[in-house]
Amino acid sequence: MTGFRDSPETEDVIILGSGVAGLTSAIYTARANLRPLIVEGRAAGGQLSLTTEVENFPGFPAGVLGPELIAQMRQQAQKFGARFLTGDATGCDLRASPLALSVDGKEFRTRALIVATGADARLLGLESEKKLIGRGVSTCATCDGFFFRGKEILVVGGGDSALEEATFLTKFASRVTVVHRRDRFRASKIMQDKALGNPKISVAWDSVIQEIRGATRGKVEGAVLRNVKTGEIREIPCEGIFVAIGHVPNTRIFEGQLDLDPSGYINTVKGTATSVPGVFAAGDVADHTYRQAVTAAGTGCMAALDAERYLERTTH
């Protein structure tokens, strides 16, 4: 991207994203007197803003609501001088220092950039699914599995992630049905053997979820399945649906400027450094393995420290 005009002020640090990774970076860089500017996006708060109760984040023995945790982290960052800008980054030019960004048409320059734009779970695209996210529909078994103890649930997908989540969920659920649109899994043989050998797991082959029941009452009550080969419609009662059909990292504006892996995640070296000096990546935008709030916080801290050290080296 070219054609950026000189901004009236060059920031020390701009952070893209206001989920756990971005807010942790904001807290650390603000405490280092770098007065970070956080571009929080129009869907502020990241994945936690879409969840209800979080029980696996350290320091909250009674659990905490996802939006409440995000709000507290935001207040903590503001307390130390972080500034927030609502808007979406729509372009960038990382070929020279200072780095250039466009946020909804307004131009910014910065000496260091922390990318914490996250990754969005691929969803089924149903209206009922949108209404029930965090109310029985989930994209993270390790985050939410505990809430489904003794209940019947569905897992949608056919890759390693889906079968891994299905196997994990048998620790809590009374029954797990894997819904897969094909007649065979894409998952590795070892994951297939593990899942298919589990007496709590059954498979709805050649099937897709056509509708999720319970949207008007605010909780999952079942799912309508359609067989893609026969057209047969049937309904399965359940209290939870876990969608495991992959994630899409939010890296579109960095294509051709940062080194990305084949799935679009940012490749990092020596901590959180990217292929461009002064640009660092934190959270799910660079993590397709763990995708937990606590690991996002950890890499957010790392990115902030890496950015601070980079600025000390290059501005003194």
Residue 294: what are its φ and ψ, rounded to 5°? -70, -35
Cβ(184)–Cβ(157) below 8 Å: no
Q: At what angle do helices 293-315 and 20-31 cross, to 10 degrees?
A: 40
Distances (CA, A) of 277 to 234, 266, 273: 55, 14, 7
Distances (CA, A) of 197 to 106, 179, 191, 203: 56, 16, 10, 12
Cβ contacts of residue 231 below 8 Å, gap of 6+?
Answer: none
Cα end-to-end distance, the chain, whole Å: 29
Going by their DSSP bridges, the two strands 83-85 and 233-237 should be labelled as unpaired
Residue of 12, 92, 143, 306 marked active site: 143
What would the two tokens of residue 266 be? 């940012």
Residue of 12, 92, 144, 238 marked active site: 144
Nearest in space to 174 (alpha carbons), one of 199, 191, 197, 194? 199
Going by their DSSP bridges, the two strands 279-281 and 106-115 should be labelled as parallel
238 annotated active-site: no
Instruction: Enumerate the β-bridge partners of residue 240.
Output: 153
Cis geometry, peptide bond prior to residue 98 (ω within 30 degrees of 0): yes
Give 42-75 as a DSSP string: SSTTGGGGG-SEE-SSTT-TT-EEHHHHHHHHHH
What would the two tokens of residue 8 be? 């009236």
Distance of alpha carbon 261 from alpha carbon 301, whole angstroms: 23
Residue of 88, 93, 120, 140 marked active site: 140
Supply the residues annotated as catalytic.
140, 143-144
